[in-house]
Structure 1
Amino acid sequence: MRDRLGEHAGPEKGGLTGPNPVDRGKFGSKIHLITERTGLPLSVGISGANLHDSQALEPLVRGIPPIRSRRGRRRRRPGKLHADKGYDYAHLRKWLRQRGIKHRIARRGIESSQRLGRHRWTIERTMAWLAGCRRLHRRYERKADHFLAFTSIACTLICYRRLAN
């Protein structure tokens, strides 16, 4: 920055880089997804881009429909849950433990996410399938209900294509 005399006055208080790159005041929306082992979507949800990922875990787990098993009653919860560092909070671990769900969550500052790579690629592949839908690649709908409906339709198409083969 130059003052009136043309001499360099130094950086302003905010710095020259602009706003903080990890600022949570972002626009847009995120798609949250729980899949089974092969990548079939079980539960889907959307949230604002400024909402932390950890706040979406409980509604997603509650939204898993009953799963038919070969014997006995239908299962209402998964046996194991793999998650990345964004879900490493004591209250989430306790909540999963109370429901009898074994969790494998990478710990912040201790473990790298590399070990979860063999499980995480199924989620990334399903997210890539969702990104192939034009209506989901860029959000055109103003109402969240409409965007969630298109996301659910895309998940239904993914399930149909995977199970039809």
Structure 2
Amino acid sequence: MTEDALPERVAELVPGGLWERVQPLLPKRPPRRHRYPGRLPRDDRVALAGIVHVLMTGCTWGQVPTEQFGCSGVTCWRRLRDWTEAGVWPRLHQVLLEELRAAGKLDLETAVVDGSHVRALKRGAHTGPSPVDRSRTGSKHHLLTDANGVPLVVALTGGNRHDVTQLLPLVDTFPVVRGIRGRPRLRPRYLFADRGYDYGFYRRALRARSIVPRIARRGIAHGSGLGRTRWVVERSFAWLHQFKRLRIRYEVRADLHLGLLQLACALICYRKLPPS
């Protein structure tokens, strides 16, 4: 579909710059049958716009305005399922991180980690009774950012999992971001976290990985000064939860909710790119 033939809302939700980065990552469709080929598939860019619409507004898949997009919500959900299983969103996130580093917008020497609870209205994998929501079913978003709050790694667990249990998995999946000459950084030099991560075992594990822990101490009054660096991860959660579909988990399938999380991280990175 040409740029001029696109509905206005589609071009607004999926601008040309974003689509140029997504299109090469999408899996190839199988060739159509010569006999009884069936209906033509809907345009991928239109389907992606429907997915972004649900992510931003929080509406159900059945509420996607077909007349506005030219694509039903069921089709958008199927593309989300197929593209999530194909690993499109992590690769898109990686591409955008490399562009940000090439533009000098990443500070990978310092990383910041935190977790955030969301309510899960339906049961499924990675849900559990939340200790901060009167044991209602919930999930947790775990996020690792750079010093500027750019999302680097995101994970999903049950609401009853402690934040610190995801510290090492997040650090060990620290992205290898190229984009400039020289060897890419394999791990951050400093890691900032709140006092919920203050455990001797994890401090030693970070030092064994050549990472200097900057973690607030439990039992000590506030005012350590670490918040001057650590606040960026709270802002990143605010950016994530501006996507209304992420404020409450509606998806039964954990991989689809995680896919929406990864897509939201990629969109945040895209918005931080300098204008071309």
Q: Among 46, 55, 58, which residue is 2:156 paired with?
A: 46
Identity rate of aligned residues, in percent?
52
Quick one: distance in 1 between partners of 2:178 and 2:221? 35
Shift of 1:24: 8.4
1:126-165 to 2 correspondences below 5 Å: 126-165=236-275
152-161 or 42-51, which moves further after superposition?
42-51
Q: Give yes or no for the alignment of 1:72 onto 2:182.
A: yes
Q: Distance in 1 between matches of 2:224 and 2:246?
A: 28
Count of residues paired in the alignment: 145
Moved more, 51-60 or 69-78: 69-78
* Equivalent residues of 2:144, 2:170 under 8 A apart: yes
- Kindly provide the CA deviation profile for residues 24-81 of structure 1, in whole angstroms up to 9, marking residues without a partner as x: 8442111110100111111110111111111010111111111337553211101110
Structure 2: which amino acid aligns with 1:105? I
TM-score normalised by structure 1 residue count: 0.80
* Cα pair 2:152 2:175 within 8 Å, conserved: yes
Inter-partner Cα distance in structure 2 for 1:80 and 1:160: 25
Distance 1:113 1:136, change over 3 A: farther
Where is the helix percentage greater, Structure 1 or Structure 2? 2
Tell me the TM-score normalised to structure 2 length. 0.49
1:82 to 189, 192, 201: 192
- Residue of structure 1 aligned with 2:208, choices 98, 123, 134: 98
Higher relative contact order structure (alpha carbons within 8 Å, sequence separation ≥ 6): 2
- How far apart, in 2, do the equivalents of 1:79 and 1:44 lie? 19
5 Å-filtered alignment, 1:53-68, equals 53-68=163-178
**C-alpha distance after superposition, 1:67-112 (max 9, x if no partner):** 3375532111011100000100011001000000011001110252
Provide closer, same or farther for how the CA distance between residues 80 and 133 of structure 1 changes in structure 2, counting only shifts above 3 A: same
- Shift of the 131–113 alpha-carbon distance from structure 1 to 2, 3 Å rule, reads farther
Structure 2 SS opposite 1:115: coil
Contact 1:106 1:113 in 2 (8 A): no
Give the letter aligned to residue 148 of structure 1.
Answer: L
Instruction: Tell me which residue corresponds to 2:219.
Output: 109
Shift of 1:164: 3.5
